């Protein structure tokens, strides 16, 4: 029994940072994201009674580091008594470098595993299962703008806007392709335990979500820009003030932020957001994309530029 799924990574505009239940991987805060179009991860899962243990190939190479989390994801979707699986994952962008690769990888794995096991689930169920593997992956079950609500004993997801109704563009400035030193899962726990700013981060999140939701509903780019940058910089302040401190930026990250500031002063509709890595994602209106690409590619230290529109939800593409 075999199935293949494709998922696009998503970028949070209002960030998830911190867990309220580590065992069930429940986030401490809600979050709002956009799903991308040109970046993707394709995962195929083959359940095979003859296999002695799970095998994971990432971009063609056997990967032991991620195997435990992938096996746990399969246990959750297919059941612990399942046949072992051969899992092959292929991404068209650098992985584990702050480009949200875990969101697309776990979303695609969840959809492919449910497909291979012939398990019928609705999108909300798939999102909850993807979210228990990696919080951000839940959002890639939705295209366009998605919100993850931290509701009661579980998470609930909803679509805030479809792909076409507000076609924002995303310009990603890659400043470093090496894997990050501390993964998000571990880093957010360090923040929860040690950052003096963690409590106020959690307290203020609902307000940031309200402002962003209203900005998306009203297609108010300036309001979305202000709240998304504020929320991103607050998350990084929490990280910086943790012990040990976690600083994911390099000097090119800072220069890209200055480039975005300069563009804003010139009247360009653009804002930045940065996750647990040194890459800068500049979100802009379509008519400003050319200027944003030019300015960021001329920024010293930028190694590569990737551009994307908003993309679709994770989906099954083959089953046999």
Which chain residues interact with ligand DP6 by CB under 6 A?
12, 15-17, 25, 31, 100, 102, 134-136, 184-185, 275-276
Nearer to ligand DP6, 15 or 128 (CB): 15
| Cβ neighbour number for residue 157 with a 10 Å cutoff | 22
CA gap 205, 219 in Å, rounded:
21
| Helical packing angle, 221-240 and 184-194, nearest 10° | 70
- Nearest approach in angstroms of CB 242 to ligand DP6 is 13
End-to-end CA distance of the chain: 6
Q: Which of the 8 DSSP states describes residue 227?
A: H
Nearer to ligand DP6, 225 or 276 (CB): 276
- Nearest approach in angstroms of CB 75 to ligand DP6 is 16
User: Cβ contacts of residue 65 below 8 Å, gap of 6+?
Assistant: none
- Nearest approach in angstroms of CB 274 to ligand DP6 is 9
Nearer to ligand DP6, 12 or 129 (CB): 12
- Nearest approach in angstroms of CB 81 to ligand DP6 is 25
Nearer to ligand DP6, 102 or 269 (CB): 102
* Structure-block tokens of residue 249: 């930026």
Specify the pairing of strand 41-48 against strand 2-7.
antiparallel
DSSP string, 180-199: PSS-HHHHHHHHHHH-TTHH
Q: Which residue is associated with the tokens 């951000």?
A: 136
Backbone angles phi, psi at 281, to 5 degrees: -105, 120
Which among 103, 90, 2, 4 has a CA at the least distance from the CA of 316? 4
- Nearest approach in angstroms of CB 17 to ligand DP6 is 6
Nearer to ligand DP6, 97 or 215 (CB): 97
- Nearest approach in angstroms of CB 1 to ligand DP6 is 27
Specify the pairing of strand 55-58 against strand 61-62.
antiparallel
Q: Is the four-CA dihedral 136, 232, 206, 10 of positive or negative sign?
A: negative
- Nearest approach in angstroms of CB 134 to ligand DP6 is 3
Contact 308, 38 (CB under 8 A): yes
Nearer to ligand DP6, 135 or 278 (CB): 135
CA gap 9, 95 in Å, rounded:
11
- Nearest approach in angstroms of CB 233 to ligand DP6 is 13
Nearer to ligand DP6, 102 or 253 (CB): 102
Nearer to ligand DP6, 16 or 221 (CB): 16
């Amino acid at each position: 029994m075999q199935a293949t799924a494709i998922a696009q990574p998503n970028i949070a505009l209002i960030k998830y940072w911190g867990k309220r239940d580590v065992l069930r991987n429940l986030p401490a805060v809600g979050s709002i994201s956009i799903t991308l179009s040109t970046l993707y991860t394709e995962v195929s899962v083959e359940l095979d009674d003859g296999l002695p243990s799970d095998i994971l190939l990432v971009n063609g190479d056997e990967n032991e580091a991620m195997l435990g989390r992938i096996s746990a994801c399969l246990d959750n979707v297919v059941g612990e008594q399942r046949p072992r699986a051969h899992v092959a994952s292929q991404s068209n962008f650098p992985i584990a470098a702050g480009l949200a690769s875990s969101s697309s990888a776990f979303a695609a794995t969840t959809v492919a595993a449910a497909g291979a096991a012939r398990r019928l689930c609705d999108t909300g169920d798939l999102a909850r299962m993807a979210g228990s593997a990696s919080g951000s992956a839940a959002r890639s079950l939705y295209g366009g703008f998605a919100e993850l609500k931290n509701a009661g004993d579980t998470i609930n997801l909803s679509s805030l806007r479809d792909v076409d109704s507000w076609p924002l563009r995303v310009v990603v400035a890659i400043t470093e392709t090496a894997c990050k030193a501390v993964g998000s899962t571990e880093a957010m726990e360090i923040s929860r335990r040690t950052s003096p700013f963690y409590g106020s981060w959690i307290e203020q999140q609902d307000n940031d979500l309200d402002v962003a939701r209203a900005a998306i509903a009203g297609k108010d780019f300036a309001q979305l820009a202000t709240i998304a940058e504020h929320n991103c910089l607050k998350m990084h302040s929490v990280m910086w003030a943790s012990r040990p401190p976690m600083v994911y930026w390099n000097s090119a990250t800072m220069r890209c932020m200055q480039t975005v500031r300069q563009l804003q002063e010139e009247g360009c509709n653009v804002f930045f957001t940065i996750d647990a890595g040194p890459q800068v994602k500049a979100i802009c209106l379509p008519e400003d994309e050319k200027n944003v690409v030019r300015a960021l590619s001329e920024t010293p230290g930028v190694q590569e530029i990737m551009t994307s529109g908003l993309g679709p939800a994770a989906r099954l593409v083959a089953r046999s």
